[in-house]
Amino acid sequence: MNFPPVDEQLAIIRRGVEKIVPEEELAVKLTKSRETGIPLRIKYGIDPTGIDVHLGHTVPLRKMRQFQELGHQAVIIIGNYTALVGDPSGRDQARVKKLTEADVEANARDYLNQVGKVIDISQAEVHRNGDWFAKMSFAEILQLCGKITVAQLLTRDDFAKRYASQTPIFLHECLYPMMQAWDSVMIKSDIELGGTEQLYSFMLARDLQRDQHLPQQVGVMSPILVGTDGEQKMGKSLGNYIGISETPFDMMKKFMQIPDATMGMYFNLLTSIPLEEVTAILQGHPKEAKVRLAKSVIAGYHSEQHALEAADRWQREVGGGELPTDIPTVTLNLTTLAAQLPQCQGDLVHSRLAAAQLLKVAGLTPSTSDAIRLIQQGGLSIYDGDQPTLISDPKAVIELKTGLLVKAGKKKIARLVIDH
């Protein structure tokens, strides 16, 4: 195996990495592997709890990919056993929902499919940590527990906070870092990838490895990727994530919404554009920079072509204010409507309907009250052909006909189909 020079490897590995612990051991490991021709074993573990892989997850995965490209061995741990516990990292309370083993297995398969979009899964080792945890005896578990003190556990920020605020810390959660660390022992990892919040477990892994007379792993920790709000950690529950399985156009829209200040981090962590070039890009027009960023990432999960199309479409529909190409149709059956809205029967027999009622029945607003507010604030436009007409009176009577476009606010739009 021929590895690139250590300096070159280090430059690639260091990009977008917040912490390498212990820093000096990384070069030593790389040097040794280059001399012996033995690839380093790069560990990355995930718990198959959710299903949507988003860009936040791709940060360490991209790092994994880079290690692969440098000739090292990717080792993916599917935490099917740790998933039964739930990672307490950064949590201020224990997870509530418990996953069944069947859920976990289904999630794991789905997860591997998605991960394949970032790393070369055919060249990766995949392990499930249930393979070893399921076989451990209680005595063995006890022995492992003997390696960790409560005081050590409490050095973790999340546990310390919970302890201080008297929020429950369950015993099985205490075992989580131990399990994660034991995975490192079992697969003899040289490097472990993850976020900075994993520091405790990464260091515990070193202790356990030393205990077993194994070489100790080095933690390579990525910063936390912020979400599209530019503030908080990207995550599903916060609704600020960009999923890698989303359509190019959906990704495009989300990318264009990130705050300018967040672009630097995204370029650094999500693209391979050389950093000098990134600096130049960021000095140009922010909008152009954002388009460039979006295209670069989208191309990685779809194709150059799709990325281009998405960017063009965004420019036309969002930037240029043109009507979107995929307007959903809403079918209104006048007979049914008349039965639902007896007070509007008079209008309906003439295929007419008050604007506020229309928004409600077309599903563009959740209630007529909401529709009235929206209309009064100038949010309703009706397109008959290409001509928009602003409707500002909720009671304005609209002539219903098929093909009419109803646009409520910036985002909600529907094409009517009238049925008698």
Q: Which is nearer to RNA, 62 or 360 (CB)?
A: 360
Q: Which is nearer to RNA, 64 or 408 (CB)?
A: 408
What sign for the dihedral angle of Cα 346, 350, 351, 354?
negative
- HSE (side-chain half, CA atoms, 13 Å) at 330: 19
The minimum distance between CB 122 and RNA, in angstroms, equals 38
Residue with tokens 């083993």: 101
Note whether 227 binds RNA by CB under 7 A: no
Note whether 364 binds RNA by CB under 7 A: no
Cβ atoms of 248 and 307 within 8 Å: the answer is yes
DSSP letters, 61-85, are: HHHHHHHHHTTPEEEEEE-TTGGGT
Q: Where does this chain touch RNA (CB under 7 A) — which range of 26-34, 41-49, 361-369, 398-406?
A: 361-369
The minimum distance between CB 337 and RNA, in angstroms, equals 11
Note whether 373 binds RNA by CB under 7 A: yes
What's the count of helices (H) and strands (E) in the chain, helices before strands?
19, 13
Note whether 63 binds RNA by CB under 7 A: no
Note whether 214 binds RNA by CB under 7 A: no
Note whether 146 binds RNA by CB under 7 A: no
| H or E, element range at 42 | strand 41-46
Q: Which is nearer to RNA, 43 or 253 (CB)?
A: 253
Cβ-based neighbour number of residue 284 at 10 Å: 10
Tokens linked to 129: 């940590």
From 2, 137, 166, 237, residue interacting with RNA (rule: CB under 7 A): 166
The minimum distance between CB 405 and RNA, in angstroms, equals 14
Note whether 389 binds RNA by CB under 7 A: no
Q: Where does this chain touch RNA (CB under 7 A) — which range of 15-23, 39-47, 124-132, 352-360?
A: 352-360
Tell me which residue of 310, 292, 300 sits closest to 252, measured CA to CA: 310
237-256: which residues touch RNA (CB under 7 A)?
A: 256
Q: Which is nearer to RNA, 185 or 372 (CB)?
A: 372
266-305: which residues touch RNA (CB under 7 A)?
A: 285-291
Binding residues for RNA, how many (CB under 7 A)?
Answer: 38
Note whether 372 binds RNA by CB under 7 A: yes
Give the C-alpha distances (Å, rounded to integers) separating 145 from 111, 130, 148, 156, 261: 30, 18, 6, 17, 45
The distance of Cα 390 from the centroid of its chain, to the nearest Å, equals 38
The distance of Cα 364 from the centroid of its chain, to the nearest Å, equals 28
Q: Where are the beta strands (DSSP E) in 164-267?
A: 191-195, 218-222
The distance of Cα 314 from the centroid of its chain, to the nearest Å, equals 21
The minimum distance between CB 256 and RNA, in angstroms, equals 4
The minimum distance between CB 362 and RNA, in angstroms, equals 13
Q: Which is nearer to RNA, 315 or 351 (CB)?
A: 315
From 377, 399, 401, 402, residue interacting with RNA (rule: CB under 7 A): 377
In the complex, which residues of this chain contact RNA (CB under 7 A)? 166, 229, 256-260, 285-291, 318-319, 341-343, 356-357, 360, 366-370, 372-374, 377-379, 408-412
